Amino acid sequence: MFLKIKKIPQVFWSSKKPLNLKPKISSLFFLCLGLIIFGFGEGLLIVSNSGASPWSVLAQGISLNVNLSIGLMTFIISITVLIFWIPLKQKPGIGTILNAFIIAIMIDLCIKFVPTPENYFYQIFLGIIAVLTVGLGGGIYLVANLGAGPRDGLMVGLQKKTNLPIASVRAFLEISVVSIGWYLGGTVGPGTLIFAFGIGPAVALGLYLVNRIFS
């Protein structure tokens, strides 16, 4: 069952190590494909207008209390999360860098070309599709093993330390983050809760599907 997955699968196009300056073309292709899908999913969540992601809620909550912009707080949080990689022995890679660029581009494209549904139930439905899309993209790019983004790297590192299922670790992180953000004054919507509770199983499902298709 995909909810019990405890490690990132290795397939024929996976890189042997994250810090690889000369990756296989196939590894690089699936890394970029996964990040494109991931970024599109993030964009869909914004377009759905059903609520921001948990980490955005955290950034908003902190920014309200320290008088800094949400953008700057998002950057500071990312750097802080990367620092936590050190005791978790997580290694960056090309994917860590491309993560920021590709996802940002896809979010902008999605916002530009995908209209926001006017019907509330369609907004919620789009929020669910967004979470599943992010999970699939996350599964693909993590299996490429060319370096994770800050939050995904934290998830992988904690999973290795605790030996708990990936779905459980990610759900714990997202629910903790949104709880702190909400307590500090961040705005929580239905889409936020869908993301917080659904992204762990969605990523696990993405990993499961990639493993089944390519193994």
Q: Where are the domains of the chain?
A: 24-214
| Helix, strand or coil, per DSSP, at residue 91 | coil
| Helix, strand or coil, per DSSP, at residue 215 | coil
Mean per-residue pLDDT, 68-80: 88
Does this model's pTM top 0.85? My answer is yes
pLDDT in the model for residue 1: 80
Percentage of the chain beyond pLDDT 70 is 100
pLDDT in the model for residue 104: 86
Mean per-residue pLDDT, 157-183: 95
CA distance 191 to 12: 35
Query: Percent helix, strand, coil in the chain (nearest 5)?
Result: 75, 0, 25
Does pLDDT of 28 surpass 90? yes
pLDDT in the model for residue 184: 96
The first and second tokens of residue 115, run together, are: 């209209």
CA distance 188 to 201: 20
Does pLDDT of 158 surpass 90? yes
pLDDT in the model for residue 68: 84
Kindly report the number of other CB atoms within 10 A of residue 65's CB atom: 10
pLDDT in the model for residue 141: 96
Query: What dihedral angle (degrees, nearest 10) is formed by the CA atoms of 183, 187, 191, 197?
Result: -10
Does pLDDT of 19 surpass 90? no
Query: What dihedral angle (degrees, nearest 10) is formed by the CA atoms of 155, 158, 162, 164?
Result: 0
